[in-house]
């Protein structure tokens, strides 16, 4: 059986050899003809059209990967750019706010300097260090003391008007009692008429408690220091009269006043020395 099978394979191989040589020659002939006359171009074109959908589907996973990779990278870059823009925006806002504060302080100093130029001399410029722990504190602490010539009883003003007076002096600092303090009394005069009276501190602002209804007082009148107490020099703006009402059952006006000075909001002040007050 083994010998017959071997003979069969040899016989089959001898039959296939001529066919193989024929195919080989045919392939070589087609390659030569295609190289010279481009005979297979229509076949390649048809094959490309048939295989295009297969190639398109095969490329989609790669394209999807590239798409989502680019999207993720773009989103990351946008988030980083957004973070940088937010940081820069915050920095610019803080810088702008600081510039506004600096400009406000500069304007305040210029006004104080202008008051000196207008004849309010013999003064000591000072900066407010603290208004105490209580936001409604009746005292301020300034950074000038006895070493700079500050003395108890000296009047203190800002660029708008009267703030109060020095009550306690240290070597390098001093305490200022606000004119709005509950126990404070400021001798005042109506600038328009010269009528004198007393303004009383109420812890927040000032009251004109005993201004007789028979006297001339109108809204928008300006109250200035009269100088009668020997502490506050005459002529310093104190408050504006906002309301004047004839109260029933009393011979005095019911009034509302608005101090000119910033009081607790002041940053820079002038201390009027005792020598000025005594002039």
pLDDT of residue 110: 59
What would the two tokens of residue 144 be? 């000038």
| pLDDT tens-digit readout, 264-277 | 888 888 898 875 44
Most trustworthy range by pLDDT among 58-62, 192-196, 264-268 = 192-196
- Residue 70 or 99, more confident: 70
Query: No. of H helices and E strands in the chain?
Result: 3, 12
- Residue 192 or 89, more confident: 192
Is the per-residue pLDDT at 279 higher than 60?
no
pLDDT of residue 100: 63
**Average pLDDT in the 13-19 region?**
70
Please report which residue ranges of the chain form alpha helices under DSSP H: 2-37, 41-117, 274-277
Q: How far apart are CA 258 and CA 248, in angstroms?
A: 23
pTM summary value: 0.58
Q: How far apart are CA 202 and CA 255, in angstroms?
A: 13
Cα–Cα nearest to 272, from 115, 157, 112, 147: 157
Tell me the helix, strand and coil percentages in the chain, rounded to 5: 45, 25, 30
What would the two tokens of residue 114 be? 């202008």
**Average pLDDT in the 222-249 region?**
88
Percent of the chain with pLDDT over 90: 31
Cα dihedral 38/40/42/43 (nearest 10): -170
| pLDDT tens-digit readout, 121-130 | 678 888 888 8
Distance of alpha carbon 110 from the chain centroid: 24
Q: What residues have CB less than 8 Å from 169, skipping those under 6 apart? A: 145, 146, 150, 151, 152, 175
Q: How far apart are CA 207 and CA 35, in angstroms?
A: 114
End-to-end CA distance of the chain: give it in Å, rounded. 150
**Average pLDDT in the 202-223 region?**
92
Mean pLDDT estimate for the chain: 78
**Average pLDDT in the 194-205 region?**
92
**Average pLDDT in the 182-190 region?**
92
Cα–Cα nearest to 163, from 191, 184, 183: 184
Is the dihedral angle over the CA atoms 49, 53, 54, 60 positive or is it negative? positive
pLDDT of residue 277: 42
């Amino acid at each position: 059986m083994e010998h017959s099978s071997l003979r069969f394979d040899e016989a089959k191989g001898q039959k296939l050899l001529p066919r193989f040589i024929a195919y080989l020659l045919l392939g070589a002939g087609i390659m030569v003809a295609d190289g010279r006359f481009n005979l297979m171009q229509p076949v390649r074109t048809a094959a490309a059209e048939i295989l295009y959908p297969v190639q398109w589907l095969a490329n989609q996973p790669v394209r999807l990967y590239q798409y989502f990779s680019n999207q993720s990278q773009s989103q990351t870059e946008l988030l980083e750019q957004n973070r940088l823009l937010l940081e820069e925006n915050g920095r610019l806002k803080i810088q702008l706010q600081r510039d506004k504060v600096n400009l406000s302080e500069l304007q305040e100093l210029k006004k104080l300097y202008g008051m000196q130029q207008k004849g309010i001399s013999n003064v000591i410029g000072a900066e407010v260090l603290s208004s105490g722990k209580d936001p409604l504190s009746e005292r301020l602490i300034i950074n000038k003391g006895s070493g700079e010539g500050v003395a108890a009883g000296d009047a203190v003003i800002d660029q708008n008007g009267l703030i109060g007076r020095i009550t306690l002096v240290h070597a390098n600092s001093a305490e200022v009692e606000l004119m709005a303090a509950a126990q404070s009394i400021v001798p005042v005069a109506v600038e328009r008429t010269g009528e004198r009276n007393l303004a009383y501190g109420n812890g927040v602002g000032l009251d004109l408690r005993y201004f007789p209804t028979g006297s001339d007082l109108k809204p928008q009148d300006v109250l200035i220091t009269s100088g009668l107490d020997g502490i506050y020099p005459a002529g310093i703006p104190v408050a504006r009269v906002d309301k004047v009402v004839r109260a029933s059952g009393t011979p005095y006006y019911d009034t509302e006043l608005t101090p000119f000075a910033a009081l607790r909001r002041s940053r820079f002040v002038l201390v009027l020395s005792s020598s000025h007050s005594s002039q």
